[in-house]
Amino acid sequence: MSLGQDCGIARRWSFPAVAEDEMMGDMSLNLPTLPHGRRYGFVLLVIAVLAVIVQVPGNTVIAVLLPPIALLLNGIRLRGHRGEWTVWLWMALMLVPSFIAMLRYEALQDRSYFIVSLALVFFALVVLRGSDGQDGARWLMRSLQAGLVVLALIGVAEVITNYKLLFIRYPNSVVASWVDANRFWTTSMYPNYNDFSVALVVLSLFLAARFLVKPGSVVVQVWRVVAVLAMAAWVLHMGSRGALVGLAAGLAILVILTQRRRDITSVPAWLLTSFFAVVITGALVLSQTAFVQDEDTDERALILGRLWHLATVDPSVLLFGFGSPEQLDRYARGILDAALVNPHNIIAETFLWGGVFGFVGFTTCWCYIAWQAVRNRTGASWYAMAAVTTSLAMPLLGVTPSVILHYMYPQLLMIAAIATFDPATREEASGVAFK
């Protein structure tokens, strides 16, 4: 794969003239760039995000190679903002344990958690240090939305043609017989319809954020509502219950955030209390129905028990994780006789990635996002609302797919959310929102 492309532009390198006091105030390191380098840098970011979300062959390699080039084209800002430390703590607590686990299990040839974590570090650098927070978050969120739209369109094409890519990409998938038996059960580019359902929910929350924050024409708004309802019905038909719960929770969070951003007093306390009481009561009632209590629910509980058993056999995995999903599978085959061990739980998955250290990093970053949202520090733009909402809903969404962190968009959403909290640019964004 060749990354070198002749763009037909002059290869003239130059150092922008920056006053010394400006340099000290902005704390930016302006590396030599091509003309319009920032534009090309963000184009590379878009390509990398699309490759990851759509799961094209070699997407991990693309995710590792393109962001560093984008960073060089954009330049590097030395000055960050106060919330950024949570991202770097999280990245460090993922990188170190996953690197140790990779060496320990010789998992470099697998889908190494370390390599994926390294790619995420590069993505974070482009978003947080290759631009101001809002600019990087906007490009990242638009890229994520484009990738999710492509996934949805592929799924629609599968429904129309009844030709399923699953049988080409993942012929041994455990859901192959179910997908084959139902025209509307699709997986798009993913190996499981539950994974695809979560992607549809995230896209629905993006569209809902644009509906509430960035109203367009009547036609556009009607299209957004129809699209969200259609995707919700699609997810319901495929039976992804966790995705539906995550969608409901995400919509509730989104409404609260947008209302507080407009007017902190616009949502009375009694109304919020009543709403959550109804939601909790409904969830308790639903949890006792056949829709929730079935063999699949029991199997997920057994999976968590198997993972705990693996950890007790070798407690070091609690510290460093397994290095790769392939290593987890090999390890389980020797102890559990090839029993299903895909986590189906984002919390369990964080332990598999980086052990207790990775879990602490993920939790710290998520809690910071939640705390800033409670303090009404969410940016007023649609992409800020979407990033924060989907990040907060991710623990619920993450109990649906067999795996989710390997698709990278949960981590990218949290990086985008942190970027939108940048106090230096939040007021600028609020000036154009909610009009």
What pLDDT, in 10s, does the model give residues 326-367? Answer: 887 777 776 766 566 677 788 888 888 888 999 999 999 999
List the single range of 78-87, 228-237, 293-302, 407-416 with lowest mean pLDDT: 293-302
Summarize pLDDT for 134-148 with one digit per residue, the tens.
888 999 999 999 999
- Report the chain's C-alpha Rg in angstroms: 22
Question: Which DSSP string corresponds to 163-227?
Answer: --THHHH-TT-TTHHHHHH-TT---TTSSSHHHHHHHHHHHHHHHHHHHHHS---HHHHHHHHHH
pLDDT score for 112: 86
Distances (CA, A) of 246 to 196, 390, 392, 400, 429: 14, 9, 10, 9, 27
Among candidates 343, 359, 355, which has minimal Cα distance to 314? Answer: 355
Give the HSE-up count for residue 125: Cα atoms under 13 Å, Cβ half-sphere: 22
Q: Which two tokens stand for residue 26?
A: 């902005």
The C-alpha atoms of residue 209 and residue 396 are separated, in whole angstroms, by 19
pLDDT at 216 over 80: no
Mean predicted confidence (pLDDT) in 275-281: 56
